[in-house]
Structure 1
Amino acid sequence: MAVTITVFNFAGQALALQRGDSSSEVSNLQRCLQSLGYFQGPINGNFGVLTEEAVKKFQRANNIGTTGIVGAQTQQALQYVCQNGQSRQSYTFSNTSDRFSYNLSEGDAGPEVSELQRKLQQLGYFKGNPTGYFGTTTTNAVILFQQHNQLPPSGIADPQTLAQISRAMGSPNSACSINSGYICLGEKSSRVSTVQQRLRQLGFFTEEITGYYGATTRNAVAQFQRDAGMYPTGNVDFSTWQRLGLGSNNPPTAINNPTPANRNRYVVVVPIRRADTLPRVRQYIPKAFAARSKLGHYVNAGTFRDRSEAEKHSQFLRELGFDARVEYF
């Protein structure tokens, strides 16, 4: 059953459906929401409390502003998921056009969006299952990918961003070399099994222990690095190995003579000049904390034994607009 809920006035502009309205379009809206499991009331064409609550549930589930009003964005999303009476993943959105060849942005829908979400999911940026609808969650995933790849964080999947995503999907990180001792995409070894077992213990990895460093393992490592306040490369270098608590258990062999734990450390600091500095940093580094030294009050955004890792982390924060720097304590 095809469902169309868009209403137009004499000027051709879409009208919103909201509480108090009564029309055949409201009936179609109720049928659509009922087929998705959000609406349990009668199909009567009256936009009442039950219909409003069903709209809010749909909006929350699709990361649309939870207003209870069916505006243009909500209408577009509903039409996409309810037309043809098929499952959500198999819909073909009727508003596709050549613009998908150039940009994908919030409000778009269709198989191109599903493919984008699938790729971002495999890279560890998109949480949840692909829906084919470009909502807030997809925008945030695109922004995070752009930030990590030195692209303007617009949230729009433009040609440059799409090309970079394809490159990230198509080949291992060129900065990661097994010869340097790093554990990289494509390796199969006992030390990969060790990493997978440790990630499983910490709740980051739920798959079978295979000893193969594939996309799932890389994404789990990247998530661990984010939670640990590290730069999320997705590769296991000596710092990541140590932070995982693996100690001297088959460490990356090319990195020798690490600095003892009781020696001085490279710390990424962000001077506190505003009351919201710490909470802003914690949006990206959840384990950041406030500290004080002869430098004054600052946010400790990560501690590293290797200066190059600290510099990467500092650069990541500078790209986000923070006055980050590396200090040696």
Structure 2
Amino acid sequence: MKNKILIFLLALFLLPFASGCDFVYRILQKEGAEEKDLIGEVNPYESNATVAQVQKLLKLYGYKVGKADGRLGANTRKAIKNFQEENNLKVTRFVDKATWQQLNGFTESRLVVDGEVNIKAVQTALKNAGFNPGSADGKWGRNTEATLKKFQRAMNLKDDGHIGYRTLVELKDFLPSGNGN
């Protein structure tokens, strides 16, 4: 009877390890496991569509990832690290859940659609903020750019007419969630 209990306890203890390396990886590297859940398997010589999406967003926000080729290389890891540092996230160099949510934070307000700035949403936000970019037609023109520069100055941002991460943060405040299309 004592042997049966001992064998049962030993089997119970070893059961989690029988599920493979993923279990051990989750214990040792939580953020890496989260990244694998979010973006899937990453192979060194293969492009990954979700990695390409992350690269596209990082590039859009002004981070240097090199070529947005869907490969998770040193430049992308460095850009992820810089993004995490500048957004007060835990610096892991992995696309963990918190980083993923922060990267995709402008999709609900529709300021970013399919990895691109939604100009119509920008124009709507500028109007809601009390600026006049002209009609919200979704076209980037001189009037929209000049109005964006005024908005950037008013928000104490670099008034370069470029829509980077900090400008999107400020514009988001002037759009209700889900609007701006």
| TM-score range normalised by the length of the shorter chain | 0.3 to 0.5
Which is richer in helix? 2
* Rg comparison, structure with higher value: 1
TM-score (norm 2): 0.42
Tell me the TM-score normalized by structure 1.
0.25
Q: Which has the higher contact order (CA 8 A, sep 6+)?
A: 2
